[in-house]
Amino acid sequence: MIAIFRQKSSGNALILLLYGLVLKFHTFLYPVKPVPNPGDNYIYLGILNFFKPLAEGAPVVFSILAFLILFAEATLLNRIVNSLRLFPKPNYLTAMAYILLSSMMKDWGSFSAPLIVNGCLIWIYYLLQGLHNNNKPKAAIFNVAVLTGILPLIYAPAIAYVSLLLLALFVMRAFSITEILVALLGVITPYYFFFVVLYLTNQWTIDKIVPSFTFYFPKMPSSLWITGGITLLMVPFLMGGYFVQGNLNKMLIQVRKSWSLLLLMLVVSLLVILINPGYNYLPWMVVIVPLAAFHAATYFYLPSKWGGHLLHWVSFAFVIMLNYRII
């Protein structure tokens, strides 16, 4: 499988679809109607209410919707990674890693607010890459800031990604107080329209205007399955980080910045986990966007061909056993 996805061919999209169906087929066999979780906010709750009549008698609608979103995110992230030339050769390893990682926890296979946030994060990452040589940087910064400001209206703990936007400006561009002010203006723009809606619908209350946030310690692993999933998330990431570090001298400056931005996104995603009450592992799903690229680096750069195959099939077997409970 690694050898197939190391190549970039038109047939890989179909293989990726089949690969995802195998890993996610349990969500169609045992569909679960999503319920609101702590942190879910107005836009996501509105989407749930919109699909509620359609899915009332057929929860599989949410399973189909979640899979389509997941497959689109994997394909989009892979396309962005290839266009930014994070690897010497185009490949489908990032898309494969994204779908595989999204199956490491039971909670990650359902339709959820973090799933939608991940799609926005992928687009934000792409927009941030274009800031370094943009002829109209203020307009570009405002656009990406507006998208960043929408994230907390989907999932409240995603307010942490405002810090990602500000840190990215320091990484991608020279310091400019004007650009920072433009970014902050863009972040608050969605809230301006949101407050107008609250006022017009007579819902202008302090708890909706100023949401409260509390930091929590991440939930400790409650089973060997959780421990195994976390291990298979972290080990390839550490290996991928090592390989990326070892190849930095062969990369262009812009490519180095792209990897740095992914690492920043991972750090900020950990803040999202700390803001959420942590009743389950669903909030952890936001880490798979940056992790997928580092996992792909492990599969791409690993010197031993058999080592990459072994690592992949161990992860694949774990996901199958986790979701279908073979043992």
- Residue 117: what pLDDT? 94
Query: Who contacts 55 (Cβ-Cβ below 8 Å, separation ≥6)?
Result: 33, 61, 62
Our CA angle for 93, 97, 98, nearest 5°, is 120
Give the CA-trace dihedral at 52, 152, 24, 56, to 10 degrees: -10
- Residue 315: what pLDDT? 92
- Residue 161: what pLDDT? 93
Q: What is the mean pLDDT of residues 213-232?
A: 76
| 59-81 pLDDT, tens digit each | 888 889 999 999 999 999 999 99
Predicted confidence (pLDDT) at residue 279 exceeds the cutoff of 80: no
Q: What is the mean pLDDT of residues 126-154?
A: 88
Closest CA to 281 of 95, 63, 101, 151: 101
Write down the pTM of the prediction: 0.91
| 15-46 pLDDT, tens digit each | 999 999 999 988 888 887 887 887 888 899 88
| 118-138 pLDDT, tens digit each | 999 999 999 998 887 777 888
Is 263 in contact with 245 (CB distance < 8 Å)? no
Query: Token pair 């058999």 is at which residue?
Result: 306
Is 311 in contact with 299 (CB distance < 8 Å)? yes
What DSSP line would sit under 115-133, residue for residue? HHHHHHHHHHHHHHHTTTT
Helix, strand, coil percentages in the chain from 3-state DSSP, rounded to 5 = 75, 0, 25
